[in-house]
Structures are given as structure tokens and as C-alpha cells.
Structure 1
Amino acid sequence: MIDIHNHLLPNIDDGPSSLYESLSLATDAVNMGINTVYVTPHHLNPQFENPKDKILKEIEMFQIHLENEQIPLTVRPGQEVRIVGDLIERIDRDEILFLNNKSSYLLLEFPSNNVPRFTSKIVFELQVNNHRPIIAHPERNKDIIQDPSKLYQLVKNGALTQLTASSVCGYAGKKIQKFCFKLIESNLAHFIASDAHNSNSRSFNLPEAYSLIEQKFGMYKKEELIENANLLHNSELVVGNIPEKVASNKFFNLF
């Protein structure tokens, strides 16, 4: 099993604060059947700056620690990049780390409360440059919850999305879980990932999420989401089903 979004590296963002905690979290991943993780430290958000070269060095060192501890987990590089107006210029300057370094897939993070006005422009420009944007945890974005058409338009125009396993499982609340189900049902979800930060409140939870998806939507949908992660891992094209509109969710009033 492959996880495309987590914060496994120690002392680099809001994930584990020590190597011991990181190795413990890595052991949790292996025990849940995960064999490959794309570590995606926050970058360009208000709190954290984790440039490409720094992450590549940290991953190389962490893989050695995993091997020394005989933890059978392969770590691949990535970033969770906050969307900014000059993102294309930063890519041109080779500051941005795509998933697996050389693939076309880029994990994008929005601010929690809104979808920036320049988002559609950035999503378009990324694709013109043969990059595939993956919107991280849209189910937690206030703007998207209140107006899902914003996500629909982005997906219709070529963006992919990643839901968080804990959200699917209901650990972020029943309303967000219900919204996840609506997004899956409407072909507005392409990946499930852990966004794991620690072994307690924010662990991997992937097997539980996939099991729940199989119960609610059938084995085909579960296998489709798992296969999309495999396609990404092999730098192959992920093609989503035709997206459908979701009714406005003003009744959620989550915030």
C-alpha cells in the first residue's frame, strides 16, 4: 500500500518532534500494510519553509535510519506546497519538489478558510507546463464545504484531489465524513492519503478508510483509489471519472 501524503520526517514541520517518534510512526505504517510513503513536509505556508534540497537530504538520512532499525518502509520525496501566486516562477527556479522528485504530480495545499482567487489560473498554468496538481484535503476547506462548485470547477479543469483517511473515517467529525462521501460519490476524489503527523491523534488510518469506502461504495471504488496511488508511484497518468456537481453545503456551518 502506498501513502502519498504524510509528515513523517522529524523536526521539520508539525509532524514528529524526534527521530524516535518518526521511527515509531513508520512502524505504525508498516503494521498497517503500507510499504511506501511519500513524505510531504509543509512548504511556503505561514509557519514552515522546507525547500527541495533540504527535504532530499533529510529523506536520504531517514531512509538510512529505517534500514538500521530494520523497518521495511521505502520513503519517497515530496512537499505539501501552499498555493502562491508566483508558484510557476518558483517551479522554474527548481525550488519546488514534485512527488517522487521527477514525476509531474504536485501536492497543493489551500489556506484553511478559502480558495485563493488565483487558484484557477495556477491550476491551468501547471497543466500547460505538464504538471498534475493534487489538491490536498479539500474536505477541510471552509470555502469548498460551503460551495462545492469551486472544487467541481477545478476538477473539471484537470485538477486531482486527495481526501484524508481520518476524515473518511469520521475522526474529523461526522459532517466532514459525510462531505467526504459526497465527494467520492461525485467523482471529486482521486486519492486517499493519511496526512499522518503522529501515532496518537493523527496516524495513518488508511486500511480503515479503504475498508469503509468498500462498504459504502463497493470494491471497485476502493481498488480504483488504491490503483491511482500506484499509477502516481509509477509516474503514469491518473485519469478521473467525469466529475459531478455537489449541492451547496451551507447547512454544514462547520466554522
Structure 2
Amino acid sequence: MIDLHCHILPKLDDGPDIVTESVDMCKQAIADGTTDIVATPHFFDGHHDVNLEVRDIYLKKINLFLHQSGLPLRLHAGAEVRLVPKLGKLLRNPHRLCINQSRYMLIELPSVIPQTLEQELYDLQLIGCVPILAHPERYEYIQRNPDFLLHLASSGVLGQITAQSLLGGFGEKCRRCAELLVHNRTAHFVASDAHSSSARPPLLAAARARIEHIAGHIEARAMFEERPRAVLRNRPVSIQSPLPSTPRTISDLVERLATLL
């Protein structure tokens, strides 16, 4: 499995404080079946504006340790970028913030929906980035209206839900919303959003089992392996057209029923 969203590097944000904690997280991920992790420290969140050179130094050190120790895990560079006003115009070298220097950028939405959201995301697309929205199921405005993501998904914006959301770790509303986004085809990846080896560990296997139960083995493989691999390789991500929560046409109803069979 491939984890596209993980706060695994030490001393950068609200993730681990020491290198040994990062190593413990790596070992947990390996035991759980993960082969690749994207290190995504916070950027532009007002608290942890990460120095990318420092990120790359820690990334290199931990990858070297993993290699020398014979541990089958690879870390890749990324960031969790807060969507601030005119983000697309602020970034001088956006691909340094993208996952593995691809076109795919992990975007954290503000807690209150901005009126300019669609334009901000479109501006990112204009500079060659594909936004991946981090944990949309955890925002109250999306829990109230999951179909909010339909237009964004139709315009090429991707979604990543958190593994613990599927398991009830953020409450029942969040769990129901996460499952609905899977059924709506507006969630395309599952990632750990891990911050430590204890409070929120880098574990995916249980969430994958849940996806297999609600969406089938093919979609689970796509969410945990095929689509994340395409992101790492900077290739197009294969997705299906999104579906509204309430079918609006006979065609919508047929497709909705097909996802439940």
C-alpha cells in the first residue's frame, strides 16, 4: 500500500518530535503492509511553514537509515499545503510542494469555506497542479452537504479521506461522510494522516478492509495502490464520474445501485 499523507518527519510540524519516533512509525507502517509513504509536513498553515531544505535533509537521512537497515519502505517528499488566498500566484516553484515533485498537490482546506474556493483551485490547475483535497470528510460544511464536492470532482479535483475516519476515529458523522464520499466517487485515495506511533499511527490495513466491504476489492486496490502509484509516477489517475448522493436521473439510480452490489 502507498500512504500519500503522513506527518512522519521529525521536528517539522505537529508530527513526531524526535527521529526515533519517526523510525517507530516507519516500522509500524511496514508491519501493516505499506511500501511507500509521502512525508507531508504542513505548509502555509500559519503555524508550521516548513523549510523545504530541512524537509529534504530529514527525508534523506531517514531513507538512508531504512536502506542501510534493510527495511522495505521508501519515503517521498510532499507537503500538506493550506489553501490561502491567491495560493496559485504565491508559489514560485509549486512542484517542490507537490507529491514527489509531480503535478499532484495535497491541499488542506480552511475550516470555513471560502467564497473563492473554486477559483483558487482553478488557479492551481492553471499553473499545472492537480489538487488533492486532504480529509474532506472532516469538514463540517462537507458533512452537511457531501454533494458540495461533485462539481470539484467533475473539474479534476481529487479527494483523499483519512483511514481513521472510516473506522470511526473522528466520530460517527465523519465516518458516515467518508463512506458517502466513497460511494459518490468524490474520494479517490485513503491515507493515514499519521502524526505519531500512538495517537494517530500510520496504519492503513483496517481501513482497506473497510473499503473492501463497502466498495469492493477493485476499488480498494485502486484507492490504496493503483491511484497512489500513479501520483508518485506523475501519471494520470484513473477515476469514475462522481455520483450525487440522491439520484437525479434513472441513469444516476442505476449507477448508484451498481456501486452497492
Same fold by TM-score greater than 0.5: yes
Summarize the alignment of residues 201-240 of structure 1 with structure 2, pairs less than 5 Å apart. Answer: 201-226=199-224, 227-240=226-239
User: What is residue 48 of structure 2 aligned with on the other side?
Assistant: 48
Question: C-alpha offsets along residues 100-120 of structure 1, whole Å, 9 cap, x if unaligned?
Answer: 02x100000012x32222221
Summarize the alignment of residues 34-113 of structure 1 with structure 2, pairs less than 5 Å apart. Answer: 34-93=34-93, 96-101=96-101, 103-111=102-110, 113=111
Question: C-alpha offsets along residues 220-254 of structure 1, whole Å, 9 cap, x if unaligned?
Answer: 2112213111111221101321112236xxxxxxx
- Cα drift, residue 172 of structure 1: 1.4
Choose from 161, 166, 184 the match for 2:159: 161
Aligned partner of residue 223 in structure 1, secondary structure? helix
Cα distance in structure 1, aligned partners of 2:218 and 2:156: 22
Aligned partner of residue 91 in structure 2, secondary structure? helix
- Cα drift, residue 22 of structure 1: 0.8
Question: C-alpha offsets along residues 87-130 of structure 1, whole Å, 9 cap, x if unaligned?
Answer: 112323558511002x100000012x322222211211222222
Cα distance in structure 2, aligned partners of 1:31 and 1:77: 22
Unaligned runs of 5+ in 1: 248-255
- Cα drift, residue 66 of structure 1: 2.7
Choose from 198, 201, 223 the match for 2:196: 198
Contact 1:114 1:144 in 2 (8 A): no
Aligned partner of residue 92 in structure 1, secondary structure? coil
Question: C-alpha offsets along residues 160-209 of structure 1, whole Å, 9 cap, x if unaligned?
Answer: 00000110122112221111111100101110101011111201231111
Q: Which letter does structure 2 place at the counterpart of 1:107?
A: L
- Answer 1 or 2: which has greater helix percent: 2
Contact 2:81 2:106 in 1 (8 A): yes
Aligned pair in 2 of structure 1 residues 58, 90: CA closer, same or farther (>3 Å)? farther
Q: Which letter does structure 2 place at the counterpart of 1:117?
A: Q
Contact 2:38 2:76 in 1 (8 A): yes
Summarize the alignment of residues 140-155 of structure 1 with structure 2, pairs less than 5 Å apart. Answer: 140-155=138-153
How many residues are matched? 245
Task: Please say which of residues 118-127 and 145-154 is displaced more in the overlay.
Answer: 145-154
What TM-score comes out, normalization by structure 1 length?
Answer: 0.90
Q: Which letter does structure 2 place at the counterpart of 1:71?
A: L
Unaligned runs of 5+ in 2: 247-261
Q: Which letter does structure 2 place at the counterpart of 1:234?
A: R
- Is 1:33 paired with 2:40? no
What TM-score comes out, normalization by structure 2 length?
Answer: 0.88
Aligned partner of residue 198 in structure 1, secondary structure? coil
Task: Please say which of residues 60-69 and 18-27 is displaced more in the overlay.
Answer: 60-69
Task: Please identify runs of 4+ aligned residues in structure 1 that moved more than 4 A.
Answer: 93-96
User: What is residue 121 of structure 2 aligned with on the other side?
Assistant: 123
Aligned Cα root-mean-square deviation (Å): 1.7
Aligned partner of residue 107 in structure 2, secondary structure? strand
Aligned pair in 2 of structure 1 residues 208, 63: CA closer, same or farther (>3 Å)? same
Choose from 179, 185, 188 the match for 1:187: 185
Q: Which letter does structure 1 place at the counterpart of 2:8?
A: L
Question: C-alpha offsets along residues 69-91 of structure 1, whole Å, 9 cap, x if unaligned?
Answer: 44331110000000011311232
Identity among equivalent positions (%) equals 31
Cα distance in structure 1, aligned partners of 2:93 and 2:193: 27
User: What is residue 257 of structure 2 aligned with on the other side?
Assistant: none
Contact 1:2 1:34 in 2 (8 A): yes
User: What is residue 244 of structure 1 aligned with on the other side?
Assistant: 243
User: What is residue 250 of structure 1 aligned with on the other side?
Assistant: none
Aligned pair in 2 of structure 1 residues 93, 129: CA closer, same or farther (>3 Å)? closer
Aligned pair in 2 of structure 1 residues 121, 51: CA closer, same or farther (>3 Å)? farther
Contact 2:78 2:98 in 1 (8 A): yes
Contact 2:146 2:180 in 1 (8 A): no
